Structure 1
């Protein structure tokens, strides 16, 4: 097939922009289009989780986000009866990340920062370009690519022949409809109000939540365009327009008159739904972000899940475009991400119903159990640690994926220490080339990374790996990870774990060699004990074989 572009991305929200950032790093050709003439200035998504910051760090985006955002280290739980329970946020359970905070950043700023990065790479978002239709290039082969018909506001209709098409175009996805992919679920009956404004009476730099018989109200520290983001339930049957006066009535209802609202920058009312596509892939067409799944904003998971979708998919399509992806690798996107989305949709639905139900029985956990148990739960590091591991998305894994493999000589998972294949690579401060670095930064380049750990490795092992996997070229990096002294220079390709934390978090022994293969998205793909590299070579050959589908062949 002759393609105009390897990947056509439809939708320039956070999901589409993150996908473009990763594809840019791999050097494959792509175009990103959006029907909006200008970026949206109204942003419902707000929370940026630690795993998202980790995932965007290779592009230098995370530092810009943390500079622009407002971190929150405390949650104030305002219980009925005027008792307030302070809860530390992300202060335990995520020690193996550089980002031990919940960051609040308007979605518009996230999009601006991602767009600025793409502009620095010479990538332009094509705005005012609306997808009209999709047609398979070969009706008999669903993997042969697509022709997209695109209406341009500045000139007629474009026809774009793409090896892959990714729908990142939101809940009303044209890509999903044109591909005939079902989107199932239902809406919630309640109406919500959302506003960015100033609030007197709320302690700054903390999240405030007010659970009552009538539902909940939450205040998030925003910074700009106003100091606070307010979200709450409207009274059932209240069809009035959202104004400062109605917002103040809502705040009085939940806070008992303790807050004064002023200077709103933006106000809106909306309804929510929980829906998910029956499939995330249709031949060479893929769905990501809200085009694939939507759910309650409880827990701040939505935008983060979409960005994780993009970064799981991008490297696989990049390898496919270069003829280095097996059929199994391409198909693994839907197999890995759909279960994650399903669990998040279910998780947020349960939390949402606990927070909003007016049913006398179903609201008991909120109105009776929460006040009774909150102080003890807030004091428990173990409970908070488990909760933060989930909310931060650091605990997401692909252990059941066909891309996750252990060597035959590795102990069973129950007897092995450290992360398993399919788990995210934990982070730690290490020494490299005589200066402190973070382990995740050293394996962040767009490539597969092989870590040779422990003693006994022949000096020519990196050369053996590169020779055996020569087809990967610059898509393979091999480094040694050793426990070393900060007083000694480690030498080329040597990562020194001077504190011992990297070895501890990886479950490694200074007496036992291991080989760890890290995927381009920062997850461990293969792990084995001993100095035999045949298993690692076989694993990478299986993932990056030429493949049988025509869409995986080089042009």
Structure 2
């Protein structure tokens, strides 16, 4: 039983029911636990997965998981790949990976790690918070607590392997239960897209003849073969299109290796071999009333560019803090609704982009294979020598370019310079990172704002000493959820004070687009994105912004006639 299983509201057994304990569900549980929300996390599997499945962790995901203290453990357990070897018919191109464009992050590598190990590390973190995963518990049905009100919460019917049927009443239900999501089906959410015609074969095994610490790609007229470095029981992950009528055996893998590498590779000692079909699908909506979808339950696509698990984890971390605030009666309707508005466009873009890339990589039909067989050999060397293009490509792959600029819950004060003139991240952008000093210790800026709640960053001269007190007095509903700090440029010899961050190198000011001569205020959301930004010493508009997101905080929601987290 989870430690966080008792809701203070007698109308609910729990604030959030998470269905599915893969990386998405585990990340959501970690964020809810950080906020002290009541939740339960169930999974129909009797035991954790052992297959490697998703193996790539992007830099933005490592950033997003930092508040839970697991990123360092993931990096220590994983295998960074710093090169891509593109094996073309006439030559092999060796290209650095993530060597440019990621300077504003502590994580500048594509990390390969078995999904089973990622899940193990996240699970161990939850156990340290006295949260356990309820395994052997399968969702059978969902019903609204009030048939007339889709926002009044849900009752879940759970089939437990150990003690029969259990019913759980929850304010919110989150389906993180994969592509065949029962939550999505029971909530009646449409699933749109299609399947690819080919069957793929993959294996975790040993390979002789492949240079270590690199990703290897073998594009030919017959399709492709990829090799990814792993850490753990096997050294390599191999993936290719399975020839028709061939069994999933080591002999078939060797035939593929011979075809694509012209006999340069020898495969052996497989840990496991599997086949799978791929599809490109996305849910019509990520929210319906009190029910939400995240991860593969919301979007599935090909594994090219290693976006899938990472997108799912960031779905979870966009949603978790909003539900946690909603469970406290602190979230406006606008804040709860923003999950679908912010994450569904991201999911659609990932599905669309990976679909186009995948078809270019796999098509064996006429003109469609020309970009791979003719254009790629001609263009790749020149393109990869262009630092600006590589920087943009790597930032996109790392998911640093994901933003919520059009969201209704981000805003800029009227004193903020127009976007064309302003520097640094705009409201809705990821907060860049930099080395800073606090209390005579070297720290990372992202670490200092990685707290459950909103972080207010004051910069530049002139801020009255009592500004933090004014902000807290104006926002009593955010007691314990408001982290206020001041960023100053200058020497490490300056006097220390609580909440003072020193930017000795000037990189934080530069990356944030700040001036040491001009005061500005930034509000950082709990998921690490800039929610609000304004110039000048006035705090009224910033207070109004946070009040707008939490405007229902003084009214306790009534079950059956109000949305969870909203006024009756």
Normalised by the length of structure 1, the TM-score is 0.98
Q: Give, in angstroms, the shift of residue 553 of structure 1.
A: 5.4
Q: Distance in 1 between matches of 2:416 and 2:376?
A: 44
| Partner in structure 1 of residue 423 of structure 2 | 417
On the 8 A contact 1:9/1:30 being kept in 2, the answer is yes
On the 8 A contact 1:274/1:296 being kept in 2, the answer is yes
Q: Which runs of structure 2 are paired with 1:10-409 in the superposition (5 Å)?
A: 10-81=19-90, 83-235=91-243, 238-409=244-415
Q: Give, in angstroms, the shift of residue 550 of structure 1.
A: 3.8
| Partner in structure 1 of residue 564 of structure 2 | 551
Unaligned ranges ≥5, structure 1: none
**What is the SS of the residue equivalent to 1:240?**
coil
Q: Give, in angstroms, the shift of residue 490 of structure 1.
A: 2.8
**What is the SS of the residue equivalent to 1:552?**
coil
**What is the SS of the residue equivalent to 2:396?**
helix
On the 8 A contact 1:142/1:284 being kept in 2, the answer is yes
On the 8 A contact 1:10/1:168 being kept in 2, the answer is yes
Q: Distance in 2 between matches of 1:467 and 1:433?
A: 26
Please tell me whether residue 7 in structure 1 is matched to residue 16 in structure 2.
yes
Q: Distance in 1 between matches of 2:409 and 2:106?
A: 26
Structure 1 segments of 4+ aligned residues over 6 angstroms from their partners: none
On the 8 A contact 1:321/1:554 being kept in 2, the answer is no
Q: Give, in angstroms, the shift of residue 317 of structure 1.
A: 0.1
On the 8 A contact 1:434/1:489 being kept in 2, the answer is no
Q: Distance in 2 between matches of 1:17 and 1:108?
A: 12
Q: Give, in angstroms, the shift of residue 240 of structure 1.
A: 2.1
Describe the superposition over 1:414-471 as per-residue Cα deviations: whole angstroms up to 9, x where unpaired: 1111110000000000000111000000000101000001111111111100000011
Q: Distance in 2 between matches of 1:499 and 1:490?
A: 17
| Partner in structure 2 of residue 457 of structure 1 | 463
Q: Distance in 2 between matches of 1:511 and 1:90?
A: 34
**What is the SS of the residue equivalent to 1:512?**
coil
Q: Distance in 2 between matches of 1:117 and 1:551?
A: 28
On the 8 A contact 1:433/1:489 being kept in 2, the answer is no
On the 8 A contact 1:322/1:554 being kept in 2, the answer is no
**What is the SS of the residue equivalent to 1:382?**
helix
Describe the superposition over 1:231-267 as per-residue Cα deviations: whole angstroms up to 9, x where unpaired: 11123xx222111110000011111110000101010
Describe the superposition over 1:88-128 as per-residue Cα deviations: whole angstroms up to 9, x where unpaired: 10000111010000000010001000000000000000000
Number of aligned residue pairs: give it.
552
Measured at CA, do residues 554 and 11 of structure 1 come closer, stay the same or move farther in structure 2, by a change above 3 Å?
farther
Q: Distance in 2 between matches of 1:354 and 1:9?
A: 37
**What is the SS of the residue equivalent to 1:363?**
helix
Describe the superposition over 1:210-246 as per-residue Cα deviations: whole angstroms up to 9, x where unpaired: 01011111100002220000011123xx222111110
Deviation larger for 34-43 or 16-25 = 34-43
**What is the SS of the residue equivalent to 1:21?**
helix
On the 8 A contact 1:187/1:271 being kept in 2, the answer is yes
**What is the SS of the residue equivalent to 2:65?**
helix
Measured at CA, do residues 328 and 553 of structure 1 come closer, stay the same or move farther in structure 2, by a change above 3 Å?
closer
| Partner in structure 1 of residue 5 of structure 2 | none
Normalised by the length of structure 2, the TM-score is 0.96
Q: Distance in 2 between matches of 1:415 and 1:505?
A: 15
Deviation larger for 421-430 or 481-490 = 481-490
Q: Distance in 1 between matches of 2:519 and 2:272?
A: 57
Q: Distance in 2 between matches of 1:513 and 1:87?
A: 43
Q: Give, in angstroms, the shift of residue 489 of structure 1.
A: 3.6
Q: Give, in angstroms, the shift of residue 520 of structure 1.
A: 0.5
**What is the SS of the residue equivalent to 2:420?**
helix
**What is the SS of the residue equivalent to 1:269?**
strand
Please tell me whether residue 498 in structure 1 is matched to residue 511 in structure 2.
no
Q: Give, in angstroms, the shift of residue 404 of structure 1.
A: 1.2
Q: Distance in 2 between matches of 1:227 and 1:477?
A: 43
**What is the SS of the residue equivalent to 2:41?**
strand
Q: Give, in angstroms, the shift of residue 554 of structure 1.
A: 9.3
On the 8 A contact 2:202/2:239 being kept in 1, the answer is yes
**What is the SS of the residue equivalent to 1:525?**
strand
**What is the SS of the residue equivalent to 2:533?**
strand
Q: Distance in 1 between matches of 2:164 and 2:198?
A: 42
Unaligned ranges ≥5, structure 2: 1-9
| Partner in structure 2 of residue 513 of structure 1 | 519
Q: Distance in 2 between matches of 1:515 and 1:342?
A: 33
Q: Give, in angstroms, the shift of residue 381 of structure 1.
A: 1.1
| Partner in structure 1 of residue 3 of structure 2 | none
Measured on the aligned residues, the alpha-carbon RMSD in Å equals: 1.1
**What is the SS of the residue equivalent to 1:272?**
strand
Q: Give, in angstroms, the shift of residue 300 of structure 1.
A: 0.2
